[in-house]
Amino acid sequence: MNTSTAHQIVVLGAGYTGLIATARLARYTRRLNTRITLVNPSPRFTERLRMHQVAAGQELTDFQIPDLLKGTDVRFHQAAATAIDTADRTVALDDGVLLHYDTLVYALGSATDASIVPGAADHAWTLDDPRLAHRLSQRLPGIAAAGGTVTVCGGGLTGIEAAAEIAEAHPALTVKLVCATEPGSMMGEKARAHLNRVLDRLGVVRMVGVRVTKVLPDAVRLDTGELVCSDLTLWTTGVRVPQLAAQAGIATDGKGLIITDPTLRSVSHPEIHAIGDAALVRQAWGQLHGTCQSGVVTADYTAGVIARLLRGKPVKPLRFGYFHQPVSLGRKDAVVQFTKADDTPRRWYLKGKTAVIYKEQVSSTPPVAAKMSRHVKIPVQLSKGGRATRKAA
């Protein structure tokens, strides 16, 4: 390969979407004159799907990104992007390096928004960083020994999994789950009933229909005025994305999501492909919301789009439909709600040990798919949405 004339592809972010996109790009463009650079602040792959396990004190497999991409010509650059110059097509990094790109893949993901409630950023923990999750886990035994309380704010899937995992690992703790709507409200009646039975068995106290208005060092205040004592508060609700794209003048929505066309290219800068949580992606049935399930599909799709564009071939719009909502409930139980394309529940669901095996398979697939992409393409898309994605938008 002639690196001086190679088409420069830069991928920002090595989460689930960035990693899969890079691995698939290496496979799809291996006979083309390309130079792929993956930029990420840490060389370790963060399994966001398992951060609740880290918080409960479990050790995860140490996946090093360079090892997962071994055997490809991908160049890994450990740094964080600080600015994008769309005119010169360069990315400035926090180590002083300036990277040129011909094609940019924007896969910076999202984080928990702890700014939406006073005190949350100062006094609550989040599961965005594995180092913080590990430090949180080190505090739990002491709190449990004193018969203390952990309050999980947010009844989405992350909050449910964290509450169940912590309660199972530390039975002496009182774990409270504070949520505006019923936990598992997105599921069908039977799957939700199983979820609640497991939470009852684990002793998780649910405070439903209330919102946290302030986080204090040792308590949370609810919109009812009640003050709930809390030795440790875990914040799992609200989402924010990096403002790097908006600051660069790339077309974004009010939240900072890059607005994409049907092939996931920026509507203002088509040389930029946006995937995962930081992309505004619409299908005929509605807008994608940030999940690993949709993220890895947009990653694989975009890698294929870039390869076809480089070969001068036409590309088809993304077709995607949600397929399932797998939720772990500690290490011994789980529930999987199968869904329609728009993520609303179908009749079918799994529970118990079968669901545990299913959920573990789902959580294990992304790093394996990345590592094996050099040899074989492991499917990551379970549904294209059927008729729901064939309708006119």
Q: Which of 322, 351, 383 is the last residue of a domain?
A: 322
Q: Are residue 317 and residue 278 in the same domain, yes or no? A: yes
User: Looking at residues 219-228, what average pLDDT do you find?
Assistant: 97
Locus of tokens 């999940």: 291
Which structural domain, as residue segments, surrounds residue 86?
7-110+241-322
Q: Please indicate, yes or no, if residue 14 is contained in any of the structural domains.
A: yes
Q: CA separation (Å) from 84 to 100, 106, 271? A: 10, 11, 13
Does residue 63 fall inside a structural domain?
yes
CA distance 244 to 241: 9
- One domain for residues 290 and 266: yes
In-domain check, residue 367: no
Alpha-carbon torsion angle 227, 230, 234, 238, nearest 10: 0
**Side-chain half-sphere of 15: how many Cα atoms within 13 Å?**
26
How big is the CA angle at 390 (ends 267 and 293), to the nearest 5 degrees? 70
pLDDT interval class at 16 (50, 70, 90): very high
Token pair listed for 390: 């064939």
The answer to whether residue 393 scores a pLDDT higher than 50 is no
Beta bridge partners of 78: 40
Beta bridge partners of 207: 178
Helix (H/G/I), strand (E/B), else coil: 136? helix
Whether 216 and 300 map to the same domain: the answer is no
pLDDT tens by residue, 340-374 = 999 999 999 999 999 999 999 999 999 998 988 87
- If one counts the domains in the chain, the total is 2
- Structure token pair of residue 389: 């994605």
Query: pTM of the prediction?
Result: 0.95
For residue 314, what is the domain's CATH number?
3.50.50.60
Coil vs helix vs strand at 348? strand
Is residue 392 over pLDDT 60?
no
**Strand positions, DSSP E, 60-198:** 75-78, 81-85, 90-93, 98-100, 103-106, 111-112, 149-153, 174-179
pLDDT value for 2: 59
Label residue 160 by pLDDT band (50, 70, 90): very high
Q: State how beta strands 90-93 and 81-85 pair.
A: antiparallel
